[in-house]
Amino acid sequence: MMQHIATQGPSASPIFGNGERANRLKSTKFGGRLVNDYWDNLFSAREQGKMVVWYNGTYIPPFFHAHDLAWVHGEAWSAYLAAKHGEIPAQKAGEQWGYDRELCSYARTHIGQALIDLQKLNDGTLGIAPDDPRAETMRKLPAPDMIINAYPYCSSGQQWDDITYRLFGKKVPMFTISIPLLWGGRTDAGYLRGDEWNERSRYVADQLMAMTRFIEEHSGRKYDFDRLSEVMSYVKRAAELRLEAMDLCTTTPSPASFFDWIVSIAPVNFLPGDQNLVTYFEGVKAEIQQRIASGEGAVKDEKYRLFFDGMMNWNKVGWLADKFAAVNACVVAGRYTHMSFWQEPQLIDLKDPVLGMAQNYLICPNNHGAPIMIGEIEKICEKFNVNGMVMHASRTCRGMTNSQFLIADSAKRNGRQALFFEGDVADESFYKDELLNTRLEAMIESMDAQRRAA
Ligand code: SF4
């Protein structure tokens, strides 16, 4: 039995296993600076004379960037607050307004803090001092001039934006893009192929074109498609570098882990498409190459290679990275990191990028019927030589949890261990550390037994 000691308070590192910490990539620090710059820039959008779009869902900011709009990704705002452990007052405020705790905690945080609290702050009834640092953060988020929703698979996103629309008195223009599920039921269906794929690619691309007309109408300026191509040239190059760097992590020991890719999500998800994005992933790739040359792993004495399924628990990124490192387990890949975010950049034709952008939005892993999605997960597990799967059952994100029992069954059929643990995207109260400790310990023992028997 490995040493198993109770954990300390929520902000301490977990004392578990051998006490080793994750060996994180240093190059990702540049991403932290870019994220801070992005928020600072956003907070001054009004002074810069920019219109502000609030959007939810997939990575459509290049459309805003190309038109010189400022953008707020609802999920990113909630994750930002959660990563800074500033989400709890927002969630309490949301509950007081009647939003159920089972509602998506991204939505609950965004609505609760960035809207309700902002309104209360403005009319002096927030209930916290105006000079409280939390009030300062809330006050900074500029209100929307437009709302755009582009959510594959999950309907919570549309309802979240509908609530936002109502909170602003039904006056902010709203545009909703339907990104339909790829059922995969036709005989010619498969990953990136078949009639359904072609029809739905065109269907989403047509809506994106309609969105540019909506943006034109509400900004009073003509949409610049040359600029969109230019922005996408950076996004496409960054996506290629990211995938090349990820592929290098098939090496043993893996030079980077799922948690390094988690902290690299902001650049491909919502940061501006410019040279900084390319520089960021060039830096990540170079560090990974250098680690391979020197035999340095993301986890000391890597013994087990795991796949992480489920949405990230943003309160716990460092905590979880250390927890797995402490049992010599490297989480080498994940559904959230390795199957989303400009995953097929070769589909993007820079002369006419909209269709390829639509196709990348469609292949969000949740947006495939389960057999195709699970087939793709298994390919990744084979490629990265995965021994076990960790299923983060995020309590309020059903979008990611719906297929998890099928994914775990498939893992077991393919000789991989699987464990479930509870948590949530932006609500720390659902995470149970002791549960994960016990199950991780049991999984490690099973993997050892499996090896001894082989
Ligand atoms: S439930 Fe999950 S997929 Fe749906 S809006 Fe919330 S975080 Fe996104």
Q: Which atom of ligand 1 is nearest to the CA of 425?
A: 7
Q: How many CB atoms lie within 10 A of CB 197?
A: 20
7 closest CA partner among 326, 415, 388: 326
Report whether pLDDT(14) > 80. Answer: no
pLDDT tens profile 140-167: 778 889 999 999 988 888 888 998 888 8
CA 2, CA 445: separation in Å to the nearest integer? 9
Best residue among 151, 154, 162 to mutate for probing ligand 1's pocket (most ligand atoms within 8 Å of CB) is: 154
Kindly state if the Cβ of 42 falls inside 6 Å of ligand 1.
no
Minimum-distance ligand 1 atom for the alpha carbon of 398: 1
* Ligand 1 neighbourhood includes 425 CB (under 6 angstroms): yes
The 3-state secondary structure of the chain, one letter per residue: CCCCCCCCCCCCCCCCCCCCCCCCCCCCHHHHHHHHHHHHHHHCCCCCCCCEEEEEECCCHHHHHCCCCEEEEHHHHHHHHHHCCCCHHHHHHHHHCCCCCCCCHHHHHHHHHHHHHHHHHHCCCCCCCCCCHHHHHHHHCCCCCEEEEEEECCCHHHHHHHHHHHHCCCCCCEEEEEECCECCCCCCCECCECHHHHHHHHHHHHHHHHHHHHHHHHHCCCCCHHHHHHHHHHHHHHHHHHHHHHHHCCCCCCCCCHHHHHHCHHHHHCCCCCHHHHHHHHHHHHHHHHHHHHCCCCCCCCCEEEEEECCCCCCCHHHHHHHHHCCCEEEEEEHHHHCCCCCCHHHCCCCCCHHHHHHHHHCCHHHECHHHHHHHHHHHHHHCCCCEEEEEEECCCHHHHCCHHHHHHHHHHCCCEEEEEEECCCCHHHCCHHHHHHHHHHHHHHHHHHHHHC
What's the gap in Å between 157 CA and the centre of ligand 1?
6
Comparison of pLDDT for 39 and 5, the residue scoring more: 39
Predicted confidence (pLDDT) per residue in 439-448, tens digit = 999 999 999 9
- Highest mean predicted confidence (pLDDT) among 59-73, 141-155, 391-405: 59-73
Say if residue 3's pLDDT is above 80: no
For residue 85, pLDDT over 70 is answered with yes
The confidence score (pLDDT) of residue 132 equals: 61
Identify the residue whose tokens are 């719906």: 402
Give the Cα-Cα-Cα angle 50, 53, 54 (nearest 5 degrees): 140
Please answer whether residues 425 and 401 qualify as being in contact, where contact means their C-beta atoms are separated by less than 8 angstroms.
Answer: no
| Residue range 411-434: mean pLDDT, rounded | 93
Which ligand 1 atom minimizes the distance to the CA of 366? 3
> Which atom of ligand 1 approaches the CA of 157 most closely?
5
Q: What is the pLDDT of residue 110?
A: 87
Average pLDDT over residues 333-356: 97
- What atom of ligand 1 comes closest to residue 160's alpha carbon? 5
Q: Report, as an integer, the average pLDDT of 262-290.
A: 97
The per-residue pLDDT for 68 is 97
Q: How far is the CA of 104 from the centre of ligand 1 (A)?
A: 6
Both structure tokens of 200: 């739905």
pLDDT for 9: 43
Cα(446)–Cα(452) distance, rounded to whole angstroms?
Answer: 10
104 ligand 1 Cβ < 6 A: yes
Most informative mutation of 105, 366, 425 for ligand 1 (most atoms within 8 A of CB): 425
pLDDT in tens, 349-365: 999 999 999 999 999 98
> Quick one: pLDDT at residue 10?
46
User: Regarding beta strands 388-394 and 417-423, do their DSSP bridges make them parallel or antiparallel, or are they unpaired?
Assistant: parallel
Which of 58, 104, 163, 367 has most ligand 1 atoms within 8 Å of its beta carbon, as the pocket-test mutant? Answer: 104
Q: Pick the atom of ligand 1 nearest to 153's CA.
A: 3
Q: Return the amino acid letter for 400.
A: M
359 alpha carbon – ligand 1 mean position (Å): 20
- The per-residue pLDDT for 351 is 98
Q: Among 416, 343, 413, which Cα is nearest to 381's?
A: 416
Q: Which atom of ligand 1 is nearest to the CA of 155?
A: 4
| Residue from 398, 401, 402, 424 to probe ligand 1 pocket by mutation (most atoms less than 8 Å from CB) | 398
C-beta 310 within 6 A of ligand 1: no
Q: What is the pLDDT of residue 247?
A: 98
> What count of Cα atoms within 13 Å lies in the side-chain half-sphere of residue 306?
33
Calpha distance 366→402 (Å, rounded)? 9
